Amino acid sequence: MSVVLNEVRRATYFDSIVLMRISRQVAALPGVEEAGLIIGTPANKDILREAGILGEDGNKAEPGDLILALRAKDRPAGEAALVEAKRLLDQPSTSGAPSSDNSPRTVRSAIQQMPNANLVLISVPGHFAPAEARKALALGLNVMIFSDNVPIEEEAALKREGRERGLLVMGPDCGTAIIGGLPLAFANVVPRGDIGVIGASGTGIQEICCLIARAGSGISHAIGTGGRDLKAEVGAITTLMAIDALDADPGTKHVILVSKPPAQSVAKSVLDRVAQSRKSFTVCFLGAPQLSLPANARAASTLKAAAELAIGTTMATAQAKPPPIRSDHGKCVRGLFAGGSLCTEAQIVFRQAGLAVASNVPAPGASPVTANGGHLMIDLGDDEFTRGRPHPIIEPAVRDRPLAEALADPDVGVILLDVVIGFGAHPDPAGHLASVLAGGRHGPLILASVTGTDGDPQWRSQQVNKLAEAGVIVADSNTDAAMMALTAIGISNR
């Protein structure tokens, strides 16, 4: 009979990425059915409760405590897993345990060490993030909030306070930015240039910036806003302030706006502000209905199209024709994406070709693969998949199970993947994927794109080569990969 075991470490903090990686290692131990290592905030307890691994001890944890929680097939397996979890946590070189150096412990002490700094990146559990952001704003600092699970009303209040002080609040849940050439969080190494990007879309920013870089142009600044900035409750406060900032920046000649569809009233206020600028704009509201744009703006329906409009030329596309799908497989396409915007872009490409395509976000713990014989694009980085678990950009093993199911599904003829590299990403996602596919296979075609550059720690060209050696057909962009999938199933690209 399964047993739930919890252990609490009082007043203990570890970086969430470290905890998620250790959680994956513990979950893979013999006899372990589910595991989580997480700070004891109310929201995090809800995650453990939903996963069925919150016990009485864990429920008593305070917001500053660390909960080790797991469910195992029996007590000996569970106790052995707890011992291993504690061993992993107690390895300073790999666990991120607090060090004995002089690293600052507060925003104020950090400013004392770096008096010329004007931006703070906050990555703490969402329960604590608003308080830290307010401390930074009071000290006159712009703020990038990587943390998620911050209530939207708190986000709106923080951004209003920032606006009153003339300071940007990027986020919460802002995963990507490039400020003055410096990549922050999930970002890539790209050259400086005269194109600015403002995005409520992390992987959307990354794909656009990398395509521009690989085309020989560069980025002045890429300002992330957090995915909810263009919702009516927030009112595009950061987007509008970012437009003001890039409008005043002499090094920025063209601005790209990228987001999923904004609220109608918010879209109007953003486009009204764009119309006041003397600079040219590209507007890429992925999946939004056709908008009436001002004279200085052009619309792009995909991330690749946005990059092309910004650089003023069509990007070369490798016209590789995929081999025919095996006769014993269907012609359904299964997309398994780490990037939400890349998933949305693939859906747009299919819908532009007149095809119906579903997206699927199941309840936690359920199988994500229920295509019912149709085309299906899954965003594995969606909150439903990542609550208490690592994001697939950090841990590519998150994709292993749905990939195995897609490979075994006779209705699936093509599997469409994205690989996102750069700072913050897994050190070798293509290598992991190649190991999963090792040993030869005779299943669906696998098509992929790699978002990144050869300046990134993982080297895009090396990632492409590893995928190719594993039998994956690699396209130049996510748009191209989706169009190649259409070709593979016999649909003419339009």
Domains of the chain in sequence order: 3-95 (3.30.70), 108-173 (3.40.50.720), 179-313 (3.40.50.261), 332-488 (3.40.50.261)
C-alpha–C-alpha distance, residues 377 and 393, integer Å: 17
C-alpha–C-alpha distance, residues 258 and 317, integer Å: 22
DSSP 8-state symbol, 398: G
Q: What is the number of residues in the chain? A: 494
Q: Which residues pair with 121 in a beta bridge?
A: 144
Residue that has been written with the tokens 């292993």 in this structure: 400
Tokens (6 digits) for 378: 């899954």
Q: How many CB atoms neighbour CB 106 within 10 A?
A: 10
Tokens (6 digits) for 168: 């940007």
Cα 381 to its chain centre, rounded Å, is: 6
C-alpha–C-alpha distance, residues 26 and 83, integer Å: 10
* Residue 266 phi, psi dihedral angles, 5° rounding: -70, -40
387-403 tens-digit pLDDT: 666 789 988 988 998 99
Q: What is the pTM of this model?
A: 0.87
- Sign for the pseudo-dihedral over CA of 45, 378, 170, 162: negative
Residue that has been written with the tokens 């002089």 in this structure: 102
Q: Which of 244, 294, 247 is nearest to 267 (CA)?
A: 294
Greater model confidence, 480 or 149 = 480
Sheet holding 176-179, edge to edge: 182-185, 176-179, 219-224, 192-199, 254-259, 280-285, 297-299
Report yes or no: 256 and 306 within 8 Å, Cβ to Cβ.
yes
C-alpha–C-alpha distance, residues 212 and 258, integer Å: 14
Please give the pLDDT value at position 455: 97
DSSP letters of 273-285? HHHT-SSEEEEEE
Q: Which residues neighbour 103 within 8 Å (Cβ) at sequence distance 6 or greater?
A: none
Q: Does the pLDDT at position 96 exceed 50?
A: no
Q: pLDDT category, 368, cuts 50, 70, 90? A: very low
Q: pLDDT category, 364, cuts 50, 70, 90? A: very low
Sheet holding 332-337, edge to edge: 357-359, 375-379, 332-337, 412-420, 445-451, 473-475
Q: Which residues pair with 6 in a beta bridge?
A: 69
Measured between alpha carbons, how far is residue 405 from residues 309, 395, 408, 409, 444 in Å? 38, 18, 5, 6, 11
- Percent of the chain beyond pLDDT 90? 72
Question: Inter-axis angle of helices 237-248 and 152-165, to 10 degrees?
Answer: 30
C-alpha–C-alpha distance, residues 101 and 282, integer Å: 46
Report yes or no: 50 and 388 within 8 Å, Cβ to Cβ.
no
Greater model confidence, 451 or 494 = 451
Please give the pLDDT value at position 371: 46
C-alpha–C-alpha distance, residues 400 and 12, integer Å: 31
Q: pLDDT category, 94, cuts 50, 70, 90? A: very low
Measured between alpha carbons, how far is residue 367 from residues 25, 227, 322, 475 in Å? 20, 26, 29, 28
Please give the pLDDT value at position 367: 46
8-12, 136-140, 220-224, 441-445 — which is least confidently predicted?
Answer: 441-445
Q: pLDDT category, 361, cuts 50, 70, 90? A: low
331-346 tens-digit pLDDT: 999 999 999 999 999 9
Report yes or no: 207 and 180 within 8 Å, Cβ to Cβ.
no
Q: pLDDT category, 273, cuts 50, 70, 90? A: very high
- Sign for the pseudo-dihedral over CA of 405, 407, 409, 415: positive
